[in-house]
Amino acid sequence: MTQPKIPSFDPAAARWRRLGPVAGQPGLDKAGSVCGDPCVVWDEEEGLWRMFLFQSPPGHGQAVCRDRGDPGPGNWEFLGPLAFENPRALLGGETHKPFVVLKPDGGNQAARVHGRFCLLTVSFLDRRKVLQRAWSEHLAGPWTLESEPLLEAGIGGDFDARHQDAVSGYYFEERDELYVFYMGYPLKAQPQALSPFGSAQALAVQGPDDTRPRKCGIILPPSAQKGHWASGWVGGFQIFPGKKHAWVGLANASPSAPDPGGSEVSREEPPPSLGGFAYTDDASARGGWRWFERPLERVEDLPREAQEWGEGVNLWRQHLLSLPGGRRLLLYNSGSYGYERLFAQETRDADLKI
């Protein structure tokens, strides 16, 4: 079954309907485990939806949806860790938050980059998070890792001198350009008045003459507007073609500024994490990004049923799945630190206001 082309869209105060937890997982029902940061793609070869996710332990995993028409809660089968042909090439011996490079048309279609699928992931090197890349002929894997970090390391006062994290990627076939969006954490204070140590969303681009992506710098820093939902730090990113704007981006971010002197586990990403949108009128998607004023929702506004299901504290990495017929499925992880689960909401094109 071939997925039809999904029309472009714009987000706004849509009417979202909560669907609850996506699935219970054996072995992930105890503290110290996490399930989230999903990337969902249509697997044309096998005729099903495939999910790549942060499944800890070990940090990476995959699932498939056995109902071709409804990749919602209850229809996912979790398969366990990703398969790597050369696992010894994993930097630091572990990796997490995998993301398959997508076509930028908004239809959750995996891109073939020069004939192969491309997987981006977050590995570890000398106590730093770095980006790593892998390739496969099949979305089911196995994946062959490149042994070197994908990007040059940040140094000194660079915005990404501490970590490179929460990666996503898109392949613009007509230009033969690979876009790598990622979250950069600084070691030293940045020129961000409200949040000097807040992470930012950045872009690197690999063109036809490049062997590695070249850093283009920050595209979305924390908002300079006091009290804005994204004024503290900025997390992962997903892009779509827009209707009123050239591109729309879905991100998670926070109004809380990091405290570099803190000792708590959340010092680099203090709660709450919230989901929301940004936009640009730059056809290349390389610059001009601006935040929408309001997030999708705030943690303090979660309804009782959501809290009873386990939602709270943070609404982590947001991922929008666009389906035929105008249905939009929003996936995200939420819950206490070390005990986060995957949840879903849905809306339809008719409910999108702008």
Taking alpha carbons only, the member of 188, 228, 183 closest to residue 203 is 183
Query: Does residue 5 register a pLDDT over 80?
Result: no
> In this predicted structure, which of 11-20, 41-50, 297-306 has the lowest mean pLDDT?
11-20
Q: How far apart are CA 354 and CA 126, in angstroms?
A: 46
231-266 pLDDT, tens digit each: 999 999 999 998 889 999 999 999 999 998 887 878
Q: How far apart are CA 346 and CA 316, in angstroms?
A: 17
pTM equals: 0.94
Yes or no: say if 253 and 221 are a contact pair by the CB < 8 Å rule.
no
Q: How far apart are CA 304 and CA 319, in angstroms?
A: 23
Q: Which residue has the tokens 């936009």?
A: 279
Query: Does residue 6 register a pLDDT over 70?
Result: no
Query: Does residue 149 register a pLDDT over 80?
Result: yes
Alpha-carbon dihedral sign for residues 266, 96, 344, 135:
positive
Mean pLDDT confidence for 35-56: 94
Q: Which residue has the tokens 């969303």?
A: 201
154-191 pLDDT, tens digit each: 999 999 999 999 999 999 999 999 999 999 999 999 99
Band the pLDDT of 349: cuts 50, 70, 90: low
Structure tokens at 9: 């869209």
Query: Does residue 10 register a pLDDT over 80?
Result: no
227: left (phi over 0), alpha (psi -120 to 50) or beta: left
Mean pLDDT confidence for 330-354: 81
Q: How far apart are CA 124 and CA 164, in angstroms?
A: 10
For residue 281, give every residue at least 6 positions away whose Cβ sits within 8 Å of its Cβ, in sequence order, or none.
245, 246, 288
Structure tokens at 8: 């472009």
| Neighbour-count burial for 68-88, b at 16+ CB within 10 Å, e otherwise | eeebbbebbebeeebebeeee
| Cα–chain center distance at 163 | 16
Instruction: Name the residue with higher pLDDT: 29 or 297.
Output: 297
| Torsion angles phi and psi, residue 282, rounded to 5 | -80, 115
Mean pLDDT confidence for 213-233: 97
Query: Does residue 9 register a pLDDT over 70?
Result: no
275-289 pLDDT, tens digit each: 999 999 999 999 999
Q: What is the pLDDT of residue 352?
A: 52
Query: Does residue 30 register a pLDDT over 80?
Result: no
Query: Does residue 34 register a pLDDT over 80?
Result: yes
Mean pLDDT confidence for 21-29: 60
Q: How far apart are CA 201 and CA 203, in angstroms?
A: 7
70-122 pLDDT, tens digit each: 898 989 998 999 999 999 999 999 999 999 999 999 889 999 999 999 999 99
Query: Does residue 1 register a pLDDT over 60?
Result: no
Q: How far apart are CA 340 and CA 214, in angstroms?
A: 34
133-145 pLDDT, tens digit each: 999 999 999 999 9
What does R_g of the chain's alpha carbons equal in angstroms? 19
Q: What is the pLDDT of residue 350?
A: 55
Q: How far apart are CA 222 and CA 38, in angstroms?
A: 23
Q: What is the pLDDT of residue 90?
A: 97
Domains in the chain: boundaries: 21-351
Beta bridge partners of 20: 344
The overall average pLDDT reported for the chain is: 91
Instruction: Name the residue with higher pLDDT: 29 or 107.
Output: 107
Query: Does residue 27 register a pLDDT over 50?
Result: no
CATH assignment, 21-351:
2.115.10.20
Q: What is the pLDDT of residue 32?
A: 54
> In this predicted structure, which of 149-153, 220-224, 325-329 has the lowest mean pLDDT?
325-329
Mean pLDDT confidence for 59-64: 94
